[in-house]
A and B are shown apart, each in its own frame.
Chain A
Amino acid sequence: MGVIVDLAVQGAQMLLVLLLAPALLGFTRKVKARLLRRRGPPVLQPYRDLLRLIRKEAVLAENASWLFRSGPYMIFAATWVAAALVPTFATGLTFSWAADMIAIVALIGSARFFLALVGMDVGTSFGGIGSSREMMFASLAEPAMIMIVFTVALVAGSTQLSVVANHMLELGSLRVSLGLALVALIIVAVAENARIPVDNPATHLELTMVHEAMVLEYSGRHLAVIELAAALKLLLYVSLIACIFVPWGLAPVGGTAEAYAIGVATYVAKLFAGGFLLVVFETSIAKMRVFRVPEFLGIALMLGLLGTLLLFVSRSF
Chain B
Amino acid sequence: MSAHLFDIAHMLAGGLVLVSFMLLYQDRMFALLNVFALHAVVLSASVAWQGFVQGAPHLLITATIALVLKGIIIPLALRRMVVRLGIHRTIETVVGIGPTMLAGMGLVALSMVVMLRATAEADPLAREDLALALSVVLLGLMMMVTRRNAVSQVVGFMSLENGLVLAATGAKGMPLVVEISIAFSVLIAFIVIGVFLFRIRERFDSVDVAALDAFRGERQ
Q: Residues of A at under 8 Å CB distance from B? A: 172-177, 179-180, 294-295, 298-299, 302-303, 305-306, 309-310, 312-315
Contacts and interface: CB of A to CB of B under 8 A. Distances in A.
A314 B14 CA distance: 10
Contact of B97 (A176, A179, A295): A295
Task: Classify chain B's interface size.
Answer: 20 to 34
17 contacts: A172-B3, A174-B7, A295-B98, A298-B97, A298-B98, A299-B25, A302-B21, A302-B101, A309-B109, A310-B14, A310-B132, A312-B112, A312-B116, A313-B10, A313-B128, A313-B132, A315-B124
Interface of B: 3-4, 6-8, 10-11, 14-15, 17-18, 21, 25, 97-98, 101, 104-105, 108-109, 112, 115-116, 124, 127-128, 131-132
Contacts of B105: 302, 305-306, 309
Contact of B4 (A173, A294, A298, A299): A173
Contact of B17 (A173, A179, A298, A306): A306
Nearest to A183: B18
A306 B21 contact: yes
A176 B11 contact: yes
B127 A313 contact: yes
Contacts of B11: 174-176, 179
Nearest to B13: A176
Contacts, number: 63
B109 A173 contact: no
Contacts of A173: 3-4, 7
B23 to A, nearest CB: 13
Contacts of A314: 10, 128
B107 to A, nearest CB: 11
Contacts of A175: 7, 11
B4 A313 contact: no
Contacts of B17: 306, 310
B99 to A, nearest CB: 10
A30 B142 CA distance: 47
A174 B98 contact: no
A298 B100 CA distance: 11
